[in-house]
Structures are given as C-alpha cells and as structure tokens.
Amino acid sequence: MKALLFADLSIIRKSIGQYLFSVVLICGIVTFTSFNASLDPEGAAGVVQGNIMSIAPLMFAFYAFFALFGQDEREGWESVRLSMPFTRWQIVASRYAMMLIIIVVLLAVFGLLAAVITAIVTLVRFGAVTLMPAEAVAAAIVLCLAVSLIYLAIEIPIFFKMGFMKARLYFTLPFFACMLFMLEPVQKIAESVAGKVLELVASMGSPAPLAIGTVALAFALYFISSRISLRVYRTREF
C-alpha cells in the first residue's frame, strides 16, 4: 500500500508546477473580477479568502485525479502494477486514500494561505486586517470537503470500470446534474429544502450537527463508492 501511495505521489509531483500555475491564474482572475471599489472590509475578505480557500483545493484535486488515472494508461503502468504483488483491493484502496489525503492537505494549506493573503490585502487597502468569521470558514471547509468526496464517489468507479480514455467523457456528469437547478421547478424545490434546512439549524441553535452529518454522509458515500470500484475493477479485463 505504501509503495502504491508513493508511486501516486511521484506522479503528482511531476506536474505540480503546472497545477499550481493554473490554480493561481484561475483564483487570481476570479478574485479580480469579483473585487470592486464598493466592497467593505468584510465583503473584500469574503471575496478574496472565500475564492482562494474553495476554488484552489477543488481545482488542484481535480488535476490530481486526472493525472493519476491518466498515468494508469500511459507506458503500460497499469499492467505493470497488476503484475506486482498487489491485490486489486489494495490498488483501489490506495487510490481512494491518496485522493482523500490530497483533499484534506489542500484544504488545510490553501485555507492558511487564503487567510494570509486576505490579511495582507485588507491591511493594504483598509488599514486593518479583516478575515472571514470562523463560522463561515468552517462552513466553507465542510462544504468543499463534502462536495469533493461526493464528486469523487461518483466518478472514481466509472474510471476504474472503463479506464481513463473512455471514462474521461463522463467526468462532467455531476456538473450536468447541477444544471438542473436552472429549471424553475427544481429551483422551487431547492428553495423549499433550503428553508427547511435553515429552520432545522435554527431549532438546533448551531449548524455544527448538520455540518457533521453532511461530512459523515459524504464519507459514507465515499466508502460505498470504494466497494463499487473494487467490484467493477475485479471484473475488468486488460
């Protein structure tokens, strides 16, 4: 297992410069276009810190996901890996573990980096350091973690079943689901559900139980996804 994790880490390190450049560029563009002269310190902190701590980890994890599965079909690496003394379950488990490690580490690193950058920006522009409230930061981290795990829980079994070249055509499936929210009936349902959630949070007195439940559900789906991936990977022929 350690050898598989180290191999995946080595693959990611080869292109880390390219990943970072793309992440910095996108975060810079989004932040710049969202930033305007009418923002107050709290609004500016929300734009800068919110964009960096949410967009950067998700983008980097997305790049890592494609790099790892893309490498499987290059230069016969997947055939070589299967010829080694690893079970298919170890191969599947190592990929899930690596993606989870990447997401958690990125959320921590970019969360700290976002706070530092936001502190500098607000200090220079407003003369005082202003950051997002701790509750908002925690909510953003929970949301990013849950979204990442749910997205991977959907996508990873497809890639293990079909391989990178065929499965890459399906990587946008979760995004198509999100497009349903453009329909008026779906928007009304979402508004109704959001209202119920707000009522639930108000009755609890704290969003913490709901946040913990959301993360727990995401981890449960992630684990179920790993079992599905093992089943489809066992029957896949190379």
Residue 227 banded pLDDT, cuts 50, 70, 90: very high
Contact 49, 133 (CB under 8 A): no
Q: How many residues does the chain have?
A: 238
Confidence at residue 180, expressed as pLDDT on a 0 to 100 scale: 64
Q: What is d(CA 125, CA 44) in angstroms, rounded to the nearest whole number?
A: 10
Handedness of CA 24, 25, 31, 36 (dihedral sign): positive
Is residue 96 pLDDT above 90, yes or no?
yes
Task: Return left, alpha or beta for 170; rule: phi > 0 is left, psi -120 to 50 is alpha, else beta.
Answer: alpha
Confidence at residue 40, expressed as pLDDT on a 0 to 100 scale: 81
Phi, psi of 235 (to 5 degrees): -95, -5
Residue 200 banded pLDDT, cuts 50, 70, 90: low
**Which among 83, 232, 42 is positioned nearest to 155, based on CA atoms?**
232
- List Cβ neighbours of 74 (8 Å cut-off, separation of 6 or more): none
Higher model confidence: residue 60 or residue 101?
A: 101
Confidence at residue 223, expressed as pLDDT on a 0 to 100 scale: 96
Confidence at residue 201, expressed as pLDDT on a 0 to 100 scale: 63
| Mean pLDDT on 96-105 | 91
Is residue 174 pLDDT above 70, yes or no?
no
Higher model confidence: residue 91 or residue 203?
A: 91
Higher model confidence: residue 150 or residue 180?
A: 150
Confidence at residue 110, expressed as pLDDT on a 0 to 100 scale: 87
Q: How far is Cα of residue 45 from the mean position of the Cα atoms in its chain?
A: 22
Contact 157, 225 (CB under 8 A): yes
Model confidence pLDDT, tens digit, residues 3-47: 788 778 887 877 777 777 877 777 777 677 666 667 788 888 888
